[in-house]
Amino acid sequence: MNFFRKSPSDADGTLPFWFSSGLLILICWAGITFFANIAEFRSDISDASAPVSPPTVKDEPLRLGRRVFEANCVICHQTSGLGVPSRCPPLVNSEWVLGQDPHMRRQLVAIVLYGLQGPVTVRGLVYNGNMPAWNHLSDEEIAAVLSYIRSSWGNRASPLAVEEVFSLRKSIPFRVEPWTWSELEKLP
């Protein structure tokens, strides 16, 4: 057996064992290196494409709010914020979302914290779906997602503060059932 042929394909047309083994080891090493460092190759998860200037403090809650919305709310309220006819109300131009007085803001926080069941009227149409409670989310996440929906899709309402969520959660420490519309009206 001659290990030092003039070319890898001399003789019977097969590659020598040492050449095949070395090539296989090189391919495995390249694959392992690539997948171990994949973040450096993908611009969507790499810091290479991040903006040079850090985001402002004002932008951070909205980014968090969008992530929370996409992970929890989009299935019912849709990416457009228009909801699902007769089941899930729209968030676009909704009196529930845009409410400015403290009572309406508390109602909005209460809905996200503990859910909503039964018929509810939004923009003159009746919706009869059940919204689950999202009280496992942190106060920051709830304030961020509510601020996000209050400023998206053409909505122009002021953001909600983390303190508003904290205050309501503290005043209603244990609730199992989702709210009904009549209960929300009585909310202090």
**Cα(first)–Cα(last) distance of the chain, in Å?**
92
In sequence order, the β-bridge partners of residue 179 are 116
DSSP-assigned states of every residue in 3-46: S--SSTT-TTSPPPHHHHHHHHHHHHHHHHHHHHTHHHH-TTTS
The CA distance from 113 to 132, in Å, is 9
> How much is the pLDDT for 45?
42
Q: How many CB atoms lie within 10 A of CB 70?
A: 13
Give the pLDDT score at 57: 47
* CA 93 – CA 123 distance, rounded (Å): 8
In contact, 108 and 169? CB cutoff 8 Å: no
Which amino acid appears at position 60 of this protein?
E
Query: How confident is the model at residue 38, as a pLDDT?
Result: 56
pLDDT confidence of residue 35:
66
Give me the architecture of the 59-186 domain, per CATH: Orthogonal Bundle (1.10)
For 22-60, give one letter per residue: b (16+ CB within 10 A) or e: eeeeeeeeeeeeeeeeeeeeeeeeeeeeeeeeeeeeeee
Low-confidence stretches of the chain (pLDDT beneath 50) = 39, 41-57
pLDDT of residue 17: 85
Please report which helix (H) or strand (E) contains residue 184, including its range: helix 181-186
Q: What are the residue ranges spanned by the domains of the chain?
A: 15-50, 59-186
Report, in angstroms and rounded to the nearest whole number, the Rg of the chain calculated over CA atoms.
Answer: 28
What is the structure's pLDDT at 7? Answer: 58
Residue 123 Rama label (left phi>0; alpha psi -120 to 50; beta): left
